[in-house]
Amino acid sequence: MTQIDFYHLQKQTLDQVLPKLIEKAYATKATIKIKVGNEVRVDFINSLLWAYNEESFIPHGSKKDGFAKEQPIWLSAEDDNPNQASLLFLVDGANISLETAKNYERIFNIFDGNDEAALQQARAFWKEISATDFSKNYFQQDDAGRWNKKA
pLDDT band at 1 (very low <50, low <70, confident <90, very high): confident
Taking Cα atoms as reference points, which of 4, 3, 13 lies closest to residue 141?
A: 13
Question: Would you state the pLDDT for residue 64?
Answer: 87
- Tell me how far the alpha carbon of residue 10 is from its chain's centroid: 16
2-58 pLDDT, tens digit each: 999 999 998 899 999 999 999 999 999 999 999 999 999 999 999 999 888 888 788
CATH number belonging to domain 3-145: 3.40.50.10110
pLDDT band at 149 (very low <50, low <70, confident <90, very high): very high
Q: Where along the chain do its domains lie?
A: 3-145
Does the pTM exceed 0.85?
yes
Dihedral sign, Cα of residue 111, residue 115, residue 120, residue 123: positive
- Distance between CA atoms of residues 149 and 125, nearest Å: 18
56, 48, 108, 122: CA torsion to nearest 10: 160
Contact 122, 109 (CB under 8 A): yes
